[in-house]
Amino acid sequence: MLDILIIVVAVALILLSLLQGGKSDGISGAFTGSGGLNLFQNVKERGPEKVIAQLTLILGVAFFALIILNRVL
């Protein structure tokens, strides 16, 4: 039962990660250095972007906890 829950959370986490918009120039900007790659830039999220980011964080923590719980049991 716990394995099925882990799979469901993992799939939801992948889908939410794919729904998030890019906050940088992408991978080409990282290689070429255009626009300055600032990993600690303060980006304000609003509306649906904020909800998706919060759900991704919550599911990430839940996934981590489920993996630990699965290993302990």
**What would the pLDDT profile of 14-73 be if each residue is shown by its tens digit?**
999 999 876 655 555 555 555 555 555 666 677 888 899 999 999 999 999 999 999 998
Integer Cα distance of 23 and 39 in angstroms: 10
Query: Is the pLDDT score of 13 beyond 90?
Result: yes
Whether this model's pTM surpasses 0.85: no
Structural domain boundaries in the chain: 2-72
Q: Which residue has the higher pLDDT, 39 or 13?
A: 13
The pLDDT, as a whole number, for residue 2 is 93
Concatenate the DSSP letters of all residues of 21-52 into one string. Answer: PP-SS-HHHHHH-TT---TT------THHHHH
